[in-house]
Structure 1
Amino acid sequence: MRSKFLFLFSFLFLLATISGQAAEQRKLLLKRNLSIDVEVVTTREDQRMGLGNRDSLANGQGMLFLYRNSGEHRFWMKRMKFAIDIIWIYRGKIVHIEEAVPPPSFLTPDRLLPIYGSEVTSDMVLEVPANYSTKIGLTIGDTIQFKP
């Protein structure tokens, strides 16, 4: 009985430790030597959640989705509470920007949510506050890189 309790306690502790791990924080170098702080998400679970259920995202901050394989990485705004710019990146260059993508009404069923990023090949996707890409002058072809 004691060994079962110890096993259960150890398992729950391990589970809490794993699920409580924070995403990696990095700096991305953008146009004109401007850098932003990004939360890097690499797991499917974190990527599925994205910025959903968060209240806001400050200027100078973003979420970067890193993928093992390049491909069509599509996004929707499920559980989003604020508008964002979505920036697709392939081999370090911006290939597509969706500006000021609005959050859906809470009454919108999942099956009716718009899908963004169809027919865009990327290996990274960056989400930043709405209109931030225009504010700092990001355009297709600009280089994005990790800041050392």
Structure 2
Amino acid sequence: MKKYLLIIPVILVLLTVYLKFFKEAGFYSRAVINGRVIKLLVADTPSKRNRGLSFRESLSRDTGMLFIFDKKEAYSFWMNEMKFPLDFLWIDGVLVTDLSENIPPPDGNNIETVTPQNPVDKVLEVNSGIIKELEIKIGDRIIFK
């Protein structure tokens, strides 16, 4: 009996550490796009949205950063301090309304800015080439989990 009393607190501590790590890492959500699961780093606060993927060396092929906004606008994104190219999926609710492909990282003083044609409430940044690889089109639905 004493053995079980010692094991339970250890399990609770390990579970707490595990959940804290994944919450801080941002892997608490995912999206399904054309049958492919994408793990999401969620940028839902001004500081997370401001930092975005800047300063990261890379992003795994099955991961993206989802920017969530309180209201729909034609938000502009720039590639400041980015080290790798990105694809952008501009999302209204669950529908892809615009696409920006192969946006390069800065080249000297040239920092590219991208803006959707219509207001959106979400933007998903993924590795360059994912739009083509998954054959994502305007009008596709994204399932958020």
Query: Which interval holds the TM-score relative to the shorter structure?
Result: 0.7 to 0.9
TM-score (norm 1): 0.77
Q: Which residue in the other structure is 1:27 paired with?
A: 30
Gaps of 5+ in 2: 1-23
CA deviations 1:43-87 (Å, max 9, x no partner) are 111101100000011111100001111111110000000001011
Deviation at 1:25, TM superposition (A): 2.6
Q: Which runs of 4+ in 1 moved over 6 A?
A: none
Rounded to whole Å, the distance in 2 between the matches of 1:83 and 1:36 is: 17
Deviation at 1:123, TM superposition (A): 0.4
Q: 1:81 aligns with which of 80, 83, 91?
A: 83
Deviation at 1:29, TM superposition (A): 1.3
> Which moves more between the two structures, 113-122 or 127-136?
113-122
Matched-pair contact (CA < 8 Å) for 1:73–1:120? no
Q: Which residue in the other structure is 1:11 paired with?
A: none
Rounded to whole Å, the distance in 2 between the matches of 1:90 and 1:74 is: 15
CA RMSD after TM alignment: 1.7
Please say if 1:57 is aligned against 2:52. Answer: no
Task: Tell me the SS of whatever aligns to 2:84.
Answer: coil
Deviation at 1:24, TM superposition (A): 5.3
TM-score (norm 2): 0.79
Q: 1:41 aligns with which of 29, 36, 43?
A: 43
Q: Which residue in the other structure is 1:69 paired with?
A: 71
Rounded to whole Å, the distance in 2 between the matches of 1:37 and 1:103 is: 22
Matched-pair contact (CA < 8 Å) for 2:78–2:112? yes
Distance 1:118 1:27, change over 3 A: closer
Matched-pair contact (CA < 8 Å) for 1:64–1:125? yes
Deviation at 1:22, TM superposition (A): 4.4
Gaps of 5+ in 1: 1-20
